[in-house]
Amino acid sequence: MKNAEEILALIRDALPQARVELVLNPSVSAQHSLRVHPADMFAVASFLRENQELVLDYCSNVTGVDWPGKEITEKVKVTKIVDGVEQVVEETVKRTEPGFLEAVYHLYSMKLGPTAPHGPVVIRMRTGNRTDDVSLPSLTPVWRSAEFQEREIFDLFGIVFTGHPDLRRILMWDEFEDHPMRRDYIDPDDYEYEPTPHDEVLKRAADHAKAEVAQ
């Protein structure tokens, strides 16, 4: 069984230009993954499939992850001239880290099967941001089983897979505009009737009742 480091070494040997890095999973499962630059993804995926030591011919799962942008407050020490004297002053700096979307693929080998099991081999790639730069290369030409799951990610997360043979919404209707699995999705206000409202639901039901009375 090859682990992520060994697979990374194989990729580096075969495709020295490919931008691949190891993403460590610090939890007990230690399921490390490989992050691949979108531009190199097609070559890396084809290599993983065709390489005779790996033969990762089965893509069992494709999923999306939404990483919203976050605001980070940091204390930075800055040297400043205060009243003609150079001093080290501590300043709080706020910066926003832009968010991005991620597509994660889980690969196994059917051909090697139980004789040399390795898997899941996890590869992932990231979009530039969450608004306009959301294109990633589709891996459906490499693994046919990715077709419906990439459509699902397109539907629920809004990642556009270039090269996908049939990129349409799969769960929601075509006229739908939102992406419900994004963390900033706001579900429609249909809180007319809540038999046992509590917490967030109670607040939304009360807001709805107020809005309805105001109309």
Partner 1 sequence: MAVEPDLKIELGKQGVVVTTISEIYNWGRRSSVWPMQFGLACCAIEMIATTMARYDLARFGAEVFRPSPRQADLMIISGTITKKMAPQVVRLYNQMAEPRYVIAMGACAISGGPFKQGYNVLKGIDRYIPVDVHIPGCPPRPEALIHAFMMLQKKIDAQPLTGEDRPRHLDAAAQGEFPIPVQGAHDLEPPVNRLVWPLPAPAPSGDCG
What is the contact surface with partner 1 in residues (CB under 8 A)?
171-173, 175-178, 180, 185, 187-188, 190, 192-195, 197, 201-203, 205-206, 208-210, 212-213
In contact, 80 and 86? CB cutoff 8 Å: yes
Minimum distance of partner 1 from residue 125's CB (angstroms): 26
Please say which residue, 57 or 152, places its beta carbon nearer to partner 1: 152
Minimum distance of partner 1 from residue 18's CB (angstroms): 37
Minimum distance of partner 1 from residue 164's CB (angstroms): 21
Both tokens assigned to 115: 């004789």
Please say which residue, 90 or 199, places its beta carbon nearer to partner 1: 199
Q: Backbone phi, then psi, for 83, in 5-degree steps?
A: 55, 40
Please say which residue, 16 or 188, places its beta carbon nearer to partner 1: 188
Please give the Cα distance from 167 to 150 (Å, whole number).
8
E-assigned strand segments in the chain: 20-23, 33-36, 58-67, 70-82, 85-97, 100-108, 121-126, 135-137, 160-162
Minimum distance of partner 1 from residue 152's CB (angstroms): 12
Strands 135-137 and 33-36, sheet pairing: unpaired
Please give the Cα distance from 138 to 144 (Å, whole number).
10
Please say which residue, 132 or 177, places its beta carbon nearer to partner 1: 177
Minimum distance of partner 1 from residue 192's CB (angstroms): 5
Please say which residue, 90 or 190, places its beta carbon nearer to partner 1: 190
